[in-house]
Each structure stands twice: as structure tokens, then as C-alpha cells.
């Protein structure tokens, strides 16, 4: 449980960073590579942290799409040439606000 708290705290911190980096909206995100890089890196960290959560935490919060979050991280890491920034923005808008 101790590690779970650390990982969940890390996820929350990354979500807050993404929110901060993207506060100027989609167009700024799409036009600014340093923001894109920062956001993608934080998504990678979130995905890795969720992979390390205990089965008990995953079960307790079964409404969270753990596999999709981890899968998104895998796409960002392994299929980075295929990353669609509009898809990344969609995840920012639709998925991560609900994780809080």
C-alpha cells in the first residue's frame, strides 16, 4: 500500500503538470514542441506508475481505465513515430480530468 500511495501521488502530480502545461489551449499545444514533449513525458510517467499499482488498488478503482492508460504509455514509448497530437489532446480533454 505504501508504494501505491507514492504512485498515485505521482500520477496526480503529473496530471497537475499536464493541466499547467496545456492551460493556453489546444492551438498552443499543437504549435509548441516543448509543451508537447513535456505533456508526453508526463503521460509516460503516468502510464508507468499505473502499471506498478497493486492489483488491490486497481480492483478498488475498477472504473479507472488502467489498461488503456498503460496502453497509451506503450504507444507513446514504442510507437512514437505514430503519435497523433490531436489524439493526445483528446486524452487531455476526455480521460485525465476524470482521474482526479
In sign, the C-alpha dihedral spanning 95, 80, 78, 44 is: negative
> Catalytic residue at 100?
no
Does position 1 have pLDDT exceeding 70, yes or no? no
Q: At what angle do helices 66-78 and 33-51 cross, to 10 degrees?
A: 130
92, 95, 99, 100: CA torsion to nearest 10: 40
Which one of 52, 58, 73, 100 is the catalytic residue?
Answer: 73
Total length of the chain: 100
The pTM of this model reads 0.90
pLDDT in tens, 34-90: 999 999 999 999 999 999 999 999 999 999 999 999 999 999 999 888 899 999 999
> Catalytic residue at 52?
no
Amino acid at each position: 500500500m505504501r508504494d501505491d500511495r507514492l504512485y498515485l501521488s505521482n500520477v496526480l502530480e503529473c496530471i497537475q503538470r499536464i493541466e499547467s502545461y496545456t492551460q493556453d489551449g489546444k492551438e498552443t499545444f499543437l504549435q509548441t514542441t516543448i509543451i508537447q514533449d513535456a505533456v508526453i513525458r508526463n503521460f509516460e510517467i503516468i502510464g508507468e506508475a499505473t502499471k506498478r499499482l497493486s492489483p488491490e488498488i486497481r480492483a478498488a478503482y475498477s472504473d479507472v481505465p488502467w489498461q488503456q492508460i498503460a496502453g497509451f504509455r506503450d504507444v507513446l514509448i514504442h510507437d512514437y513515430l505514430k503519435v497523433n497530437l490531436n489524439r493526445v489532446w483528446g486524452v487531455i480533454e476526455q480521460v485525465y480530468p476524470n482521474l482526479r
